[in-house]
Structure 1
Amino acid sequence: MQTEPTVPPALVIFDCDGVLVDSEPLSLACLTAGLNRIGVPIDQETVRARFAGTSMPSIMAHIAADYGIAAPPGFVEAVKAETLRIFDAELRAMRGAAAAIPALGLPICVASSSDPVRLRHSLTLTGLLPLFSGNVFSSVQVPRGKPHPDLFLFAAERMGAAPAACLVIEDSVPGVTAARAAGMRVAGFTGGGHWGHDPAGADLLRAGAARIFSDFTDLAAVISGA
């Protein structure tokens, strides 16, 4: 395991889905149901393992390549709309996030694979958007989404932080991979509802996360290197 410096990071970058909001069980269920409707023989666990933390354009490209099924017109928009409807009824902020994040006293931002509409909807709905003072970045702002490093490098540049001085909080293998490719430290978060299969975060550790935590009450200790 990599030894991390004890100095505080210059910037903490949070993923959104599965880190700030417990959205993944909801969105993965919507996506799986939608894919099944167009004839893709895939279950929710496979969708989680392959696509959690990945943008919709990348997901649909993989579906076309692996299953030979192209999304019909309006499919992506319909899945997104259904996901937002379910969010309105069921989405919650991750327990403890609203208190732990501002208590850090460090520069923070969000960097997410979600499109800007879903991203801001989720953060507004859960009351977390004001914590980030408008510093919310989406994969649509860069040429390549996660697992490529573009989004994290873009966020660091916009926030005026050197990549090596950034710490990323991520819950997915593509996200951890992207952060490590950007030259950033990573802490893996497994407190979301989709991590019941592996709370120890073995997949995230293999991808390059330096440590794993599952409760926002531990956030300050994780960031301090304790």
Structure 2
Amino acid sequence: MNTRATNLSLVIFDCDGVLVDSEPLSLACLTAGLNRIGVAIDLATVRARFTGTSMASIMAHIAADYGITAPPGFVDAVKAETLALFDTELKAMRGVASAVSGLGLPVCVASSSDPVRLRHSLGLTGLLPLFGDHVFSSAQVARGKPFPDLFLFAAERMGAEPAACLVIEDSVPGVTAARSAGMRVAGFTGGGHWGHDPAGSDLVRAGATPIFSDFSDLAAVIGGP
């Protein structure tokens, strides 16, 4: 069965780890920040537990699991450090601009990032014009990923039925959210944080199919079975 033949009308992209190779940078900043306030956690654990998760959800988990409440200004400080690192090191995923522009389908972004970081990342990498105003943040909904709210919000704003949407995701919370929204989801493992598991076994278990790691394959992913 071909996805175009099943009335695909919208492709929804996550941002961090899909459009931009930001996760190695942001996860490193988050790990360092958590260590500073006494959270004994390493980068591998942060990557496994918090990739694709909003800062609000992360801090709630830290408080519940480690008994540490972040001091005032902590989240803003980590965000500022992350944006500063982005200014010098953030790159778009290889081949993403040409792949997205050549789809011939409506596209949008739905990300756990706050609106400032989201538009900053897309602007820095030259990707923002591909999406225009069709950039949606978890700050616009009551619950972030792994809940379906953000993807359903994006589909509604774009005038698409959930069953006619394909989501491109790199995280288990994102895949879970897309599946809960009744959407198809393909897993992307081309980001620097996926070096530990290029086959995306966690994404497969969460319900993503197919898995791809190079945007030169995007057209085949969308047009394939």
TM-score range, shorter chain: over 0.9
Q: 1:9 Cα shift?
A: 1.5
Name 1:99's counterpart in structure 2. 98
Tell me the C-alpha RMSD between the 2 structures: 1.0
Say whether residues 1:149 and 2:148 are aligned partners: yes
Unaligned stretches of 5+ in structure 2? none
Size of the aligned set, in residue pairs, is 224
Letter of the aligned partner of 1:140 in structure 2? A
Percent identity, aligned pairs only? Answer: 82
Distance in 2 (alpha carbons) for counterparts of 1:188 and 1:100:
16
Distance in 2 (alpha carbons) for counterparts of 1:78 and 1:201:
32
Structure 1 pair 32–153 and aligned structure 2 pair: CA distance change class (3 A): same
Name 1:160's counterpart in structure 2. 159
Distance in 2 (alpha carbons) for counterparts of 1:193 and 1:9:
29
Deviations along 1:140-173, one digit per CA (max 9) or x if unpaired, are 0000000000000000000000000000000000
Name 2:202's counterpart in structure 1. 203
Equivalence map 1:78-97=2 (5 Å): 78-97=77-96
Distance in 1 (alpha carbons) for counterparts of 2:2 and 2:192:
28
Distance in 2 (alpha carbons) for counterparts of 1:88 and 1:162:
37
Distance in 2 (alpha carbons) for counterparts of 1:133 and 1:65:
38
Distance in 2 (alpha carbons) for counterparts of 1:9 and 1:26:
33
Q: 1:6 Cα shift?
A: 4.8
Larger deviation, residues 6-15 vs 125-134: 6-15
1:101 match: secondary structure: helix
Unaligned stretches of 5+ in structure 1? none
Name 1:65's counterpart in structure 2. 64
- Normalising by structure 1, what TM-score? 0.97
Q: 1:51 Cα shift?
A: 0.2
Structure 1 pair 89–5 and aligned structure 2 pair: CA distance change class (3 A): closer
Say whether residues 1:193 and 2:174 are aligned partners: no
Distance in 1 (alpha carbons) for counterparts of 2:46 and 2:167:
24
Q: 1:134 Cα shift?
A: 1.2
Q: Is the 8 A contact 2:2 2:223 kept in 1?
A: no
Name 1:12's counterpart in structure 2. 11
Q: 1:210 Cα shift?
A: 1.5
Name 2:111's counterpart in structure 1. 112
Q: 1:99 Cα shift?
A: 0.7
Deviations along 1:22-43, one digit per CA (max 9) or x if unpaired, are 0000000000000000000000
Q: Is the 8 A contact 2:3 2:222 kept in 1?
A: no
1:104 match: secondary structure: coil
Distance in 2 (alpha carbons) for counterparts of 1:12 and 1:5:
11
Deviations along 1:101-138, one digit per CA (max 9) or x if unpaired, are 01001000000000000000000000000001210000
Equivalence map 1:176-191=2 (5 Å): 176-191=175-190
Distance in 2 (alpha carbons) for counterparts of 1:56 and 1:133:
25
Distance in 2 (alpha carbons) for counterparts of 1:116 and 1:64:
24
Q: 1:4 Cα shift?
A: 6.7
Distance in 2 (alpha carbons) for counterparts of 1:96 and 1:6:
22
